[in-house]
Chains A and B, each alone.
Chain A
Amino acid sequence: MSDERTAVTTDEDEALAVTDQEPRQSDPRVGDGPGISVAGPAQGSRDGAQQETVVFEASGVNVHYGTNLALKGVDIPIYRREITALIGPSGCGKSTFLRCLNRTNDLIPGAAVSGDLTFHGEDMYAPDIDAVDLRRRVGMVFQKPNPFPKSIRENLAFGMKVNGLKANDDAIERVLRRAALWDEVKDKLGDDAYALSGGQQQRLCIARAIAVEPEVILMDEPCSALDPISTLAIEDLMRELREQYTIVIVTHNMQQAARVSDRTAFFTVEQPGDGSRYGILAEHDHTEKMFRAPEDQRTQDYITGRFG
């Protein structure tokens, strides 16, 4: 499988289309290693052999906050219409990497991204790239719910309007249903979004992100404030969205990563001993492989709950 990735990274063509030679395992299996069952993606409606297109290609991506190195040398392709899960201990740079993918790091004073990061083969950080257009295509749900201090309806309508979409009642009902929020808020669409519970606010933010119909949705721990029922609803939504969208999700929940993602990337913290500490990407592969037989010892330890 690692050959396959090399094939992709060396492919410099515009299309960056690579055929997945290896048919996907189709049945859920209980891993003989860490013991987390990997069920989700394989149950999807995918056929084994399909075109795999790279959406994002990161090579040697570093992120600094001021003079602090936060993330070092990340190389990873992210494939179209797949769910890629980013896992790893707190502070290892998952959110930081996620923010690189739609250039929201640009909005943080002092944050600087270096290295190569392409979106459909184009250098995302080229000086003349319009980050606003990129963000229209790459939506994001933040780690902490951040609804606008306005009504529920206005929260959804704002993004739709700036993207030239119609924010009529039908559209609003549709996205609220998709985000499993409709039944709870249908009678109070005019109420202030801050009157909602934390979990409801987060689902509103998810609704807001999908309402603008991006190509890619980045989700930073979207379920950390949700109860198990809403979590399952969001996971169902992700599986449904995967038919059309590319999704990158940060999660601390191993079961969730195993349930929903096609691929998993494990980030960890490196402390070289000179007082510095920064995040690196330790390993990434098909989720099923990552949970069954990770190659990196650190991945193995993290997934099984042994920290070294």
Chain B
Amino acid sequence: MGNVIGIGAAPKRKEDQRFLTGRGNYVSDIKRPGMAAGVFVRSPHGHALLRGIDKSAALASSGVIAVLTGDDVKADGLGSLPCGWGISDAQGVPMKEPPFPMLAQGKVRFVGDMVAFVVAETPEQANAAAELLAIDYEVLPSVVGVLEAVRPGAPQLFDDVPNNICCDWELGDKAAVETAFRKAAHVAKLSLVNNRLIGNPMEPRAAIAEYEPGTDRFTLWTTSQFPHVVRFLMGALVLNIPQHKLRVVAPDVGGGFGVKQFHYGEEAVITWAAKRVKRPVKWVASRSEGYISDRHGRDHVTEAELALDETGKFLAFRVNTLANMGGYLSTFGPNIPTNLYGPLLGGVYTTPAIYCNVKVVFTNTVPVDAYRGAGRPEATFVLERIVDVAASEMGIDRVEIRRRNMIPKEAYPYQTPVLVQYDSGDPMGCLDGALVAANVNNFGIRKAASASKGKFRGLGYSTYVEACGLAPSRFAGRLGARGGLYESATVRVHPTGQVTVMIGTHNHGQGHETTFAQIVSDKLGVAFENVDIVFGDTDRVQFGMGTYGSRSLVVGGAALSKATDKVIAKGKKIAAHLLEAAEVDIQFESGKFSVAGTDRAKTFEEIAGAAYVPHDYPLEILEPGLEEQAYYDPVNFTYPGGCHIAEVEVDPETGTVTLVNYTAVDDVGTVINPMIVEGQLHGGIVQGVGQALFESAVYDEGSGQLLSGSLMDYCMPRADHLPMMKVATHSTLCTHTPMGVKGCGEVGTIGSPAAVINAVVDALSHLGVTHVDMPATPNRIWRLLQNASLPVAAE
């Protein structure tokens, strides 16, 4: 008998036993009898008409089983890849939603767009045949940047999408903002770019599909963060496979970061192909293939203005953004730069009027969708940067201007002017904690020490809030969601008292098997080792929306908590019968059902046993068995946040920025496992630091070629880029989630880019530098210093 390991404890992660001993089971580990190999042939052009494809040489190549193209898709009458969100403009006109065929038809719109699928006996044979496909392209000019794409005369991706604008979206009270700006004592302005990112999960995407003629059932194994959603989108909307005839399995998945939370064309093509060729088919992406096909993130160009009164109080905030969607609408695409961006522009401040306009734009690039943080890092970056700009222009200390505008702890729940209502929070408490932890008082000494070595040192703050725990279905539906965003859990108590949980979220590195087992162990008083968590298989798990938007604990954990409560409630009924007491007198504590005020009790195992061997059991009122299921639909988002403080040193000779200290004090609500929370914060911060200092997806305008298409050219953050981070929590409890949790998966990525860039600007502010675009590469910093040290011309 092991121990109860409950909420707040930090056991080692259950799942690491298999991961660290090389016994994980990833899609590429799976082999099916008679399995064939598939490769995708992708467009080498950013924009081209597809004049024709001659398959003959490829079909004649050794080992080739099939070559499928867009014409075959069309002939089979298959659907377009669906978009899960439909946004509208201010007049209520729906976004332009051109079809996204799973294999290109008539035109290719980005380098990596899928043109054909080749199935052969081996991957080598499939690759060899792929090279023999004669594809007749008529190359068109590409447009890759949002500014260029909306210019008159720009290449047009779709005939019926003028100026490449998918939707001209807005939020907030434009008139109130204009009035406030007219009264302002000061207006701070900022133009910035939020750099395009590539998620780079450790495990490239992969899929295997199999069709069983005997049962008319399909199985798709895929590297997905949300297998049930893939089953629905692909089965119901693309391939017309009834839900009960389609099983989607997402086994161990090596990291997602959002990249794997979309329904990809590869999944549909391979499932369709498996039936056509009557063989299981497997495809595993190479890293290079991932660069040109995994959905990218961010990519905004923004103009922002903040109106302030003479004391530095924010009066109004106005933001105009062009957001890149890439060549087609991906599953969540248009939702990210709109609904997950605009509502966060209030931040932790009392700004009374906010207006945001986002033009969502098509370009000849990989479709852009959610990437860790998804919209909220972009919002935080704009806001936290312009707060610094305003402070410096008005001569107010950066911490002081934040304090003057922060929502006080007592003012929660706090209704912002941009839809969301924060339930709880204490931004000032996080700030105070971070100031101490970062030893800000002695920063001057450290700065002087750097100066004596010829280096510039800077400190940067980001006091931020985000919205996660996606999402209240009713609210999301009003914003354009075409599905629900609840979660489900089943708690199956076995006759011997061990527990198996079936949950609709997906663990791909976050530690859910540990966190969720702690919740069950805590609530039911069963040993931690006697709880297993099952996820990622539509045949084993009832339903679920999957893992993204820091929702697994917040929404999935809530469903689990509810299901556990139902188990306890049923257990009480059984115990009341066995103990011959009234149900209201039964208490459940530490794994024991007892009659209040007596020593009469039954253990959890005894109750489980009675439920499955109902010899002495209230059969008239209760069914045998002990298994309960709950669905949970949140009543609000959750709003984790906090204060991040970055400290950098800049070498003016080379332009190199070194992150020397990093402090984060975050409010994530109840902490189930502090070790896991710390790990999530570390990882999240590193990804934000990656955006701030290193990562950038660069396309060549005109040709649409991805210039940063490998790890040789796309710089990921590495261990030696980072100092030891100081991470702590300062939590207020969420008022509407069952356990008070707020979620912690994305906070690090949301808070950190602004903190780092604010630190870089601080380090260079004595030279007149007011903004640095991301990533702050050595070349970019050196260029700024060159320009800064030039004699200042008028204006």
Partners in one complex: no
Taking beta carbons and an 8 Å cutoff, which residues of B are in contact with A? none
